[in-house]
Structures are given as C-alpha cells and as structure tokens.
C-alpha cells in the first residue's frame, strides 16, 4: 500500500503578498483583500529607493492578474474547491535572507 501526503493551501489561508527588498531587506505586505495599491507604489523600495517594478511592465501586470485570480477563485461559486499544493515537508537548508 502506498500513502501519498499532500499539503494544500486554500486561498483563504493566504493573508497577503510580501515584497522584500534585495538591497536593504525591508519587507512590506499587502493584504490579499486590500484594494489595488496606488499606481507607482511598488516602483521602488520605500526605504532605500532601489527600483522594484515599473508600472505597466510584465511584473506589474502579472501582479494585477494575480490579484484578479485570487479574487475570482475566492468568489468561486462552482462545484469545486481551489487550492495550491506545496511540498509536504519543509525545504531543508538555511532560511533565505532575502539577498541573492
Ligand atoms: Zn530597500
């Protein structure tokens, strides 16, 4: 007999999107239920002015689509439950410092 463990995260488990600056390490979180951040709010780090993402570029547009996807699946009225699957065991190794 084979057992398979799966670890699933439902969208309601995800509290927000976190951005960590690669330069200074500061993190900011935007709750998933929060309104769209003002245009340009994520263009640069609020602490050290490191460039983050440019309004209208691929990452900025992807963030908008991701937020829309969260909203669509959270309001899902279909006959299924949507979840994200993650590794059953935590990844080994040192925790990421947020720097490359
Ligand atoms: Zn920074």
Does 26 have pLDDT greater than 90? yes
Distances (CA, A) of 3 to 27, 71, 87: 38, 34, 15
Higher pLDDT, 20 or 62: 20
Residue range 55-80: mean pLDDT, rounded: 83
- Residue 2 contacts by C-beta under 8 Å, 6 or more apart in sequence? none
What separation in Å is there between the alpha carbon of 26 and the centre of ligand 1? 6
Look at residue 76 and give its three-state secondary structure: coil
Cβ contacts of residue 18 below 8 Å, gap of 6+?
Answer: 27, 28, 29, 30
Say how many Å lie between the CA of residue 69 and the centre of ligand 1. Answer: 28
Determine the distance separating the centroid of ligand 1 and the alpha carbon of 82, expressed in angstroms.
34
């Amino acid at each position: 007999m084979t057992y398979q463990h799966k670890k699933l995260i439902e969208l309601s488990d995800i509290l927000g999107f976190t951005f960590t600056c690669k330069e200074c390490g500061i993190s900011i979180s935007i709750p998933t239920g929060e309104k769209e951040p003002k245009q340009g709010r994520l263009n640069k780090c609020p602490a050290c002015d490191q460039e983050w993402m440019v309004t209208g570029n691929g990452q900025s547009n992807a963030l908008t689509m991701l937020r829309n996807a969260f909203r669509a699946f959270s309001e899902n009225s279909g006959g299924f439950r949507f979840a994200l699957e993650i590794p059953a065991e935590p990844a080994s190794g040192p925790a990421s410092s947020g720097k490359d």
